[in-house]
Amino acid sequence: MPHAELDPTDSNFTMKPSQTAPLRSRRDLLLLGSALTAGGIFSVVAPLGLSYADDLRPQRLTVDGTRTMFRIRLETDATGNVNLPDNPLVSSKSTKMLPLKSAAVFDYEERLRRPERADTDSIVPAAERYFHEAQSESEVNRATIKCQLRQAVRSTIVRRETLPETTYCSEGFLSHEELDLLRMPVSSIAIEQLLPTDPVVQGDQYVIESESLESLLNLTAVDASEMKGEIVSLSAKEAKLQLRGDLDGSVDGVPTKIRVVGKMTFDRTLGVTTWLAMAIHETREISKAEPGFDVATTVKMLRKPIDQPNAMAKQPALIQFTSPPPVEQLYVEIRSDVLGFEALMDRRWRMMSDRPGHVMMRKIDHDRSIAQCDFRQLSALPAGRQWTIDSLQQDVRKTLGEQWREFVSSNQRVSDTGLNVMTLVARGAVQEVPIHWVIQHYQDDSGRRLLATFTMDGDSVNTFSGSDDQLASTLTMLERTSTAGRTEELAKKETLGDRTSDELGRISKKPIQSASDTK
User: Residue-wise pLDDT tens for the chain (519 aa)?
Assistant: 444 333 333 333 333 333 434 444 444 444 444 443 444 433 434 443 444 445 679 999 999 999 999 999 999 999 999 998 876 655 566 678 999 999 999 999 999 999 999 999 999 999 999 999 999 999 998 899 999 999 999 999 999 999 999 999 989 999 999 999 999 999 999 999 999 999 999 999 999 999 999 999 999 999 999 999 999 999 999 999 999 999 999 999 999 999 999 999 999 999 999 999 999 999 999 988 889 999 999 999 999 999 999 999 999 999 999 999 999 999 999 999 999 999 999 999 999 999 999 999 999 988 889 999 999 999 999 988 989 999 999 989 998 898 999 999 999 999 999 999 999 999 999 988 999 999 999 999 999 999 999 999 988 998 898 999 999 999 999 986 655 455 455 444 444 444 444 444 443 333 333 333 333
Does the structural domain 331-509 have CATH classification 3.40.640.10? no
Q: Which DSSP string do the residues of 32-78 spell out, in sequence order?
A: HHHHHHHTTHHHHHSPTT--HHHHHS-B-----TT--EEEEEEEEEE
The predicted structure's pLDDT at residue 47: 41
- Its sign, for the CA torsion 259, 265, 266, 270, is negative
The helix-helix angle for 496-504 and 389-400 (nearest 10°) equals: 50
Question: What's the pLDDT at 366?
Answer: 83
Model pLDDT, residue 92: 61
Residue 343 Cα distances to 147, 176, 200, 361, 499, angstroms = 20, 12, 54, 12, 22
Binning the chain into helix, strand and coil, the percentages to the nearest 5 are: 20, 45, 35
Ranges assigned E (strand) in 114-237: 126-140, 143-148, 155-159, 166-168, 205-207, 221-225, 228-234
CB 233 within 8 A of CB 265: no
Q: State pTM to two decimals.
A: 0.80
* pLDDT at position 89: 59
**Residue 288 has what pLDDT?**
83
Dihedral pair phi/psi, residue 31, rounded to 5°? -65, -40
pLDDT score for 36: 39
Can you name the CATH fold of 69-327? Lipovitellin-phosvitin complex; beta-sheet shell regions (2.30.230)
Cβ pair 213, 257 in contact under 8 A:
no
Rg of the chain, C-alpha, whole Å: 31
Question: Where is 240: in which H helix or E strand?
Answer: strand 238-251
State the Cα–Cα distance between residues 111 and 300, nearest whole angstrom.
20
Q: Where are the domains of the chain?
A: 4-45, 69-327, 331-509
